[in-house]
């Protein structure tokens, strides 16, 4: 009887230690790929901004306007995000990862224009501030007991409204309106960070419960999409902060 109790105790400890393993692995993969994407984008932006030969492909030196390749680098990431979202179930894990890396690279190329416009000190300062805000909201989203899912529709409406307002301002060319919208942008994507992290926490918990039936490739694909959502949150916080506080060269 004593041996049976001892064996049962060992099994209980083993089960307890294994609890949350799948969820933690999923969360680790999400942040791993997010940091990889940020690293690729940062390296691409710095390389392009400091290599005049490469910039010639993006900017027409005679007119000072973007070339066809420049517009491709600017708008292709949007198309890739749509491809990843629409093709989540159809694309293999390798294909989805390839699109995600290509997206990170092209986003970095498009961000190189920022390094040509804003002072390096402003870029670094706003990047650090964005990292601080993102980190704080990520911790809040992970640890809070408040259900943030009810704010999802409101935040989505806010994102759509923000995009419409920015498109309208492309014609109005109002610097004051752009300045005001940037504050809304920071607020919306700051809140979205907490919302997305809590959403990913729930996904991780679901994978934990269905670990035996969920294919490993499917969980890895969900991690890539989670990394994409957090990457977008961070980049948008950074860009809107730069529009508010960034000093031009």
In a domain, 153, yes or no: yes
In a domain, 5, yes or no: no
In a domain, 15, yes or no: no
pLDDT in the model for residue 16 = 38
In a domain, 205, yes or no: yes
pLDDT in the model for residue 43 = 95
pLDDT in the model for residue 215 = 57
In a domain, 86, yes or no: yes
What is the average per-residue pLDDT within 170-190? Answer: 92
**Angle, vertex CA 131, rays to CA 122 and CA 129, nearest 5:** 40
Query: Which pLDDT tens digit goes with each residue over 124-134?
Result: 999 999 999 99
In a domain, 1, yes or no: no
In a domain, 65, yes or no: yes
Query: Does the pLDDT at position 12 exceed 60?
Result: no
Q: Is the dihedral of CA 114, 117, 120, 124 positive or negative?
A: negative
Query: Which pLDDT tens digit goes with each residue over 16-58?
Result: 344 468 778 888 999 999 999 999 999 999 999 888 888 777 7
Query: Does the pLDDT at position 59 exceed 70?
Result: yes
- Which of helix, strand or coil describes residue 214? coil
In a domain, 39, yes or no: yes
Query: Does the pLDDT at position 7 exceed 60?
Result: no
Q: How far apart are CA 112 and CA 69, in angstroms?
A: 13
pLDDT in the model for residue 248 = 85
How many domains are contained in the chain? 1
Residues 6+ apart with CB under 8 A from 148: 141, 194, 195, 198, 199
Q: Which domain holds residue 76?
A: 21-245
Residues 6+ apart with CB under 8 A from 247: 118, 119, 121, 122
Neighbours of 216 (CB within 10 A): 10
Q: What percent of the chain has pLDDT over 90?
A: 52
């Amino acid at each position: 009887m004593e041996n049976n109790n001892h064996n049962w105790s060992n099994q209980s400890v083993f089960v307890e230690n294994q609890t949350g393993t799948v969820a933690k692995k999923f969360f680790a993969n999400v942040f791993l790929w997010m940091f990889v994407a940020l690293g690729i984008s940062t390296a691409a932006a710095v390389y392009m901004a400091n290599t005049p030969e490469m910039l010639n492909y993006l900017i027409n030196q005679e007119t000072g306007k973007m070339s066809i390749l420049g517009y491709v680098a600017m708008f292709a990431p949007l198309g890739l995000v749509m491809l990843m979202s629409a093709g989540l179930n159809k694309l293999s894990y390798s294909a989805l990862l390839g699109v995600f890396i290509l997206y990170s690279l092209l986003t970095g190329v498009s961000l190189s224009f920022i390094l040509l416009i804003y002072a390096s000190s402003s870029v670094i300062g706003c990047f650090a501030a964005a990292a601080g805000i993102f980190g704080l909201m990520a911790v809040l989203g992970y640890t809070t007991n408040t259900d943030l899912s009810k704010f999802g529709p409101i935040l989505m409406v806010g994102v759509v409204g923000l995009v419409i307002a920015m498109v309208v301002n492309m014609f109005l060319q109002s610097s004051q309106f752009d300045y005001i919208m940037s504050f809304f942008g920071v607020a919306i994507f700051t809140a979205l960070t907490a919302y997305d992290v809590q959403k990913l926490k729930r996904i991780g918990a679901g994978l934990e419960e269905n670990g035996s039936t969920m294919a490993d490739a499917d969980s890895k694909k969900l991690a890539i999409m989670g990394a994409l959502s957090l990457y977008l949150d961070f980049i948008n916080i950074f860009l809107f902060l730069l529009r508010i506080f960034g000093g031009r060269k």
